[in-house]
Amino acid sequence: MVVVLSVIAMVSAAVLSLVYGKTSVIIEENAARALESSVLEVLPGTATVNMIRRSPDELGVDDPQEMREKGQETTIIYQGVDEQGQIVGYAFVGEGNGYGGVVRVLVGVDEATDQVLNVKILNHAETPGLGSRIEEEGFRSQFAGKTVDDPITVNQDIQIISGATISSRAVADAVREGLQDTVRIYRGGE
């Protein structure tokens, strides 16, 4: 009895570790490629993507300790460069709390004007058919042209999706907070 069950469990573990070893590489590659192609989407004209990593100490943030406690050890900013080597803009991943969990968005910002170019929803767990409509162009396009000086708040300059107030607010929060942090970091205290 014990032997049979142990053997089954061992065979199962062996098979799974084999499958995991094979697929985990592809899964990681997929994730990296997906993020890179997402950056291309939010920064049109980009040919190559640079990653800029900054740790809180380098940034000279008021309180690096506080940032570390929040788990924000490093901030990654994606910089888009076109074929001529000109910087197109920069992109960042923002997070907001939605109805079904964290909503992660990728925001592309124009190099010259610091205006938001595009917003892409990376992943979310919102209610299909309601909250999931944050993925629709009509909602996302409202963020284009916004800068740090805009409120980027629902019911002010962002119209909510009816029936999806919390999801809409999550996206607005993610864009607003991410934009504030990223512009400050990227422009280095301008």
Partner 1 sequence: MARLWKNFVNGLWNENPTFRIMIGLCPVLAVTTEAINGIGMGLATTFVLVCSSALVSLLRKVIPEKVRIPAYIVVIATFVTIVDLFMNAYLPDLHQVLGLFIPLIVVNCIVLGRAEAFASKNSVVSSILDGLGMGLGFTWALTVLAAVRELLGSGSIFGWKLAADGATTIGVMSLPPGAFITLGILMALMNMIAARQKRRAS
Q: Which residues bind partner 1 (CB under 8 A)?
A: 1, 4-5, 8-9, 12, 15-16, 19-20, 22-24, 26-27, 30, 34, 123, 125, 127-130, 163
Environment class of 51 (CB within 10 Å of its CB; exposed 0-12, middle 13-18, buried 19+): exposed
Distance from C-alpha of 27 to C-alpha of 9, rounded to nearest angstrom: 25
Question: Least distance to partner 1 from the beta carbon of 102, Å?
Answer: 13
Question: Least distance to partner 1 from the beta carbon of 30, Å?
Answer: 5
Distance from C-alpha of 7 to C-alpha of 56, rounded to nearest angstrom: 50
Task: Pick between residue 103 and residue 109 the one whose CB is nearest to partner 1.
Answer: 103
Question: Least distance to partner 1 from the beta carbon of 121, Å?
Answer: 11
Task: Pick between residue 122 and residue 183 the one whose CB is nearest to partner 1.
Answer: 122
Question: Least distance to partner 1 from the beta carbon of 129, Å?
Answer: 3
Task: Pick between residue 60 and residue 163 the one whose CB is nearest to partner 1.
Answer: 163
Task: Pick between residue 28 and residue 57 the one whose CB is nearest to partner 1.
Answer: 28
Tokens of 167: 């999801």
Let me know: does 97 contact 81? Beta carbons within 8 Å.
Answer: no
Distance from C-alpha of 144 to C-alpha of 122, rounded to nearest angstrom: 17
Q: CA angle, corner 186, sides to 97 and 176, nearest 5?
A: 25
Task: Pick between residue 9 and residue 51 the one whose CB is nearest to partner 1.
Answer: 9
Distance from C-alpha of 121 to C-alpha of 140, rounded to nearest angstrom: 9
Environment class of 96 (CB within 10 Å of its CB; exposed 0-12, middle 13-18, buried 19+): buried
Question: Least distance to partner 1 from the beta carbon of 51, Å?
Answer: 21
Question: Least distance to partner 1 from the beta carbon of 163, Å?
Answer: 6
Task: Pick between residue 24 and residue 97 the one whose CB is nearest to partner 1.
Answer: 24
Distance from C-alpha of 175 to C-alpha of 13, rounded to nearest angstrom: 43
